[in-house]
Every structure is written in structure tokens, then in C-alpha cells.
């Protein structure tokens, strides 16, 4: 089963300093047909104006991933973490029993473009924590690089859920085959460029829900940056 959602079908919100597209219901955008996919709850495609950002706000019992595509994102939180997230960096903040943080564009001249991803944890009330790792383009070129996993394998960020997140850069003849576990779901998000998955062409911002498929074939990449979520079937 493949269910394609085009970029222009996503929810959209815009204020003076933030342009945001929502793959799933979020904040004032509500669509009962798009509440998430397994424990994957949020993919927000956010562009923040120079010197602007999200003031300090709280989260709990959520695994929050920030994936920067362009620009620099400044993070500060109540457990003492302060960092700048750049393209290639992946941040995982475990909100646990409660954390407050702010996210601001670190530049006063250029916008920052990033994906904000929320995944529901397998337990509540955990101690909050923060992780950040850089993954070079060479690690993702023509292959899927594990960037988030439940066991932290292959120097990935460790998440409190049975979810694995992979990233790949595909262009030209760089094709991939992915054996899909029939007992699990998958979700493909194209961060930029275009790629074809089992004959379905996806462009920047498109998402593809996948279930009951034995294999995924990624072909015809055009400067594509692809996120693949391996998800439990629940």
C-alpha cells in the first residue's frame, strides 16, 4: 500500500517570521485523515526569518528531531544545552517529563530552513536529554545512512521508540533498493529535489505512507535528499 501526499496538500501556516508546512495535523491545522503514521506524529517544514524564532516554550513526553537544510538554528534549553545546528547536523531532544527550550535563527541576514519531526516515545516520564551529531554528505551519498535508532547503532542518535530514521542523497544513476519488513510500516519524506519510489514520483515536500510492501526501489533521483522512517505497525 502506498499513499502519496503532495507538498501542496499539506497544512500551511504563515506569520511575519515563520512559514510552516505541516505533513500531519499540528497546532491550528487539523485534518483527521492526517494525524500521524504509527508513532510518527509531526513533520513540520519550517522557514524562519533572520534574527527571529521560537521563544522559550515547553514540551513533555515527545522525541523531537531537528534536521537543518539551510542556514543555522540556535538552540537553548533548561537542562543547560546550548548549540548551533547547521546543515548535516541532526538534533534529538528527548522532552521526557518536561523541558523548555528556544529555537532562533542564528543569522540576522539569512533565513534558516529546517524540518521539525516529532515521534511519540514508548514510555512517558523519562529524564529529558539532548543529543546532536553531524552526518557528512559522503555518508549519505547514494546510500541510506542511519541517523536515529533505538540502540544508537552506527553512531546514530538514540531514540526512545522502535523507530529508525535514515537519510540519503540521490542523483542521476544513484539508485537504491530497500527490503521492507512486511510486519512494519515506512514513511518517505523528500526534503528537497525529486525521486521515484516504486514508480511513484515524489518532489520536495511530498510524503509517502507505506505498508504491506516487500521492497522499496528508489530511482531517478534529481538532487534528492530523502528521509526514510522505519516504523512499527501500530
Q: What pLDDT band is residue 182 in, cutting at 50, 70 and 90?
A: confident
Long-range contacts of 73-78 (CB under 8 A, 24+ apart): 73/48, 73/103, 73/104, 73/105, 73/106, 73/112, 73/114, 74/102, 74/103, 74/104, 74/105, 74/106, 75/101, 75/102, 75/103, 76/101, 76/102, 77/101, 77/102, 77/128, 77/130
CA 229 to chain centroid: 9
pLDDT reading at 178 higher than 90: yes
pLDDT reading at 234 higher than 80: no
* 204-223 residue pLDDT tens: 999 999 999 999 999 999 99
**Domains identified in the chain, total number:** 1
pLDDT reading at 126 higher than 80: yes
Q: Please choose, from the candidates 16, 101, 97, the residue with its C-alpha nearest in 3D space to the C-alpha of residue 66.
A: 101
Residue 97 is classified by DSSP as T
pLDDT reading at 50 higher than 80: yes
Percent of the chain with pLDDT over 90: 98
Mean pLDDT for all residues in the chain: 97
Strands 184-197 and 164-170: what pairing? unpaired
CA 198 to chain centroid: 22
Domain limits for position 27 = 2-232
Q: Say which CATH number the domain at 136 has.
A: 2.60.120.10
pLDDT reading at 9 higher than 90: yes
Amino acid at each position: 500500500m502506498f499513499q502519496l501526499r503532495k507538498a501542496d496538500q499539506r497544512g500551511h501556516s504563515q506569520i511575519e517570521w515563520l512559514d510552516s508546512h505541516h505533513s500531519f495535523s499540528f497546532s491550528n491545522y487539523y485534518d483527521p485523515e492526517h494525524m500521524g503514521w504509527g508513532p510518527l506524529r509531526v513533520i513540520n517544514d519550517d522557514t524562519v526569518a533572520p534574527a527571529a524564532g521560537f521563544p522559550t516554550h515547553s514540551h513533555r513526553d515527545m522525541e523531537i528531531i531537528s534536521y537543518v537544510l539551510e542556514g543555522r538554528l540556535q538552540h537553548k534549553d533548561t537542562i543547560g544545552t546550548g548549540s548551533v545546528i547547521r546543515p548535516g547536523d541532526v538534533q534529538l531532544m528527548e522532552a521526557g517529563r518536561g523541558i523548555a527550550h528556544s529555537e532562533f535563527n542564528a543569522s540576522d541576514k539569512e533565513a534558516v530552513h529546517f524540518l521539525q519531526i516529532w515521534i511519540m516515545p514508548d514510555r512517558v516520564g523519562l529524564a529529558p536529554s539532548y543529543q546532536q551529531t553531524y552526518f557528512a554528505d559522503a555518508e549519505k551519498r547514494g546510500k541510506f545512512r542511519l541517523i536515529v535508532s533505538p540502540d544508537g547503532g552506527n553512531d546514530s542518535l538514540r531514540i526512545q521508540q522502535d523507530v529508525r530514521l535514515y537519510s540519503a542523497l540521490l542523483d542521476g544513476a544513484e539508485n537504491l533498493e530497500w527490503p521492507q519488513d512486511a510486519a512494519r510500516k515506512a514513511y518517505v519524506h523528500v526534503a528537497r529535489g525529486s525521486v521515484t519510489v516504486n514508480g511513484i514520483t515524489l518532489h520536495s515536500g511530498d510524503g509517502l505512507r507505506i505498508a504491506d510492501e516487500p521492497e522499496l526501489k528508489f530511482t531517478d533521483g534529481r538532487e534528492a535528499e530523502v528521509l526514510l522512517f522505519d516504523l512499527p505497525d501500530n
